[in-house]
Structure 1
Amino acid sequence: MKYFTVAEFVKSDTADRRAIDNRLPKELLPNVQALVNNVLDPLREAYGKPIRVNSGFRCPALNKAVKGSATSDHMTGRAADITGGSPAENKKLFYMIQELELPFDQLIDEKHFSWVHVSYREGANRNQVLAL
């Protein structure tokens, strides 16, 4: 984990506002590390500029509060919503992940590149590319 921290993955304004304890359980740390080491750090290295995590780990209460999927990889620390700061930069990130052939389970253009969702499952990636 060269460019990202666990603190970034658990930070949530919604959790803060609603007093939701969104600490990462110890047993899920390897999932976050795998996502960062295999996808996010190599992406950041190639991109050459900071990438912000909008939403990383979500405990079940936080996932429910943000109306996340009941099976969201965010709840296991395997997903992050990221941004380069604008839809144009997010589009670059989306395509860079594919061009660099970084491993991913799901890569999602969320709301016309408002952000990019990327997930990683050690040894079980489906390589799904979606737009929501």
Structure 2
Amino acid sequence: MKYFTIEELCQSTTADRKGIDNRCSNEIAANLTALVDNVLDPLRIWYGKPITVNSGYRCPALNKAVGGAATSQHMNGQAADIDTGDRQQNKLLFEYIRKNLSFDQLIDESNFAWVHISYRADGKNRNQVLKL
């Protein structure tokens, strides 16, 4: 973990505002570490500029508060929503991940408003590409 931290991946303004404890267990931290080591850090090295994590780990209460899917990989520490602040740059990240990195799901959210990326530490990654 070179460019991202567990704390960053667990930080949530919604959790802070609603008083939700979004700290993660060791098992979740291991999943987040795998996501960073296999996707986020390699992506950041290639991109050469900061990438913001809008949403990483979400405990069940936080996931419900933000309207996340009941089966969201965010709750397992396997997913992050990332953003550069620019849709074209987000599309660039999306295409790089699609062509060069292993992942479980890669989702273009709202025409590249942000990119959802997930990774399974057990190696059962589907390389599923979606547009929402």
TM (normalized to structure 1)?
Answer: 0.97
Distance 2:131 2:3 in 1: 27
Letter in 1 for 2:107: I
> Secondary structure, in 3 states, of the residue corresponding to 2:120?
coil
Aligned-pair Cα RMSD in Å: 0.7
Q: Tell me the residue number matched to 1:36.
A: 36
> Secondary structure, in 3 states, of the residue corresponding to 1:93?
helix
Distance 1:12 1:87 in 2: 22
How big is the shift at 1:61?
A: 0.1
Identity %: 65
Letter in 2 for 1:107: L
Q: Tell me the residue number matched to 2:9.
A: 9
Q: Tell me the residue number matched to 1:127.
A: 127
Query: For each residue in 1:83-132, what CA deviation from the matched residue of structure 2 results, as whole angstroms up to 9, or x when unmatched?
Result: 11111111111011122x20100000001101000000121101100000
> Secondary structure, in 3 states, of the residue corresponding to 2:58?
coil
> Secondary structure, in 3 states, of the residue corresponding to 2:70?
coil
Structure 1 outlier segments of 4+, above 4 Å: none
Number of aligned residue pairs: 131
Letter in 1 for 2:110: K
How big is the shift at 1:63?
A: 0.2
Distance 1:127 1:61 in 2: 28
Distance 1:59 1:22 in 2: 6
Q: Tell me the residue number matched to 1:104.
A: 103
Letter in 2 for 1:50: P
Letter in 2 for 1:115: W
1:44-55 maps to which residues of 2 (within 5 A)?
44-55=44-55
Distance 1:105 1:98 in 2: 11
How big is the shift at 1:26?
A: 1.7
Distance 1:98 1:19 in 2: 36
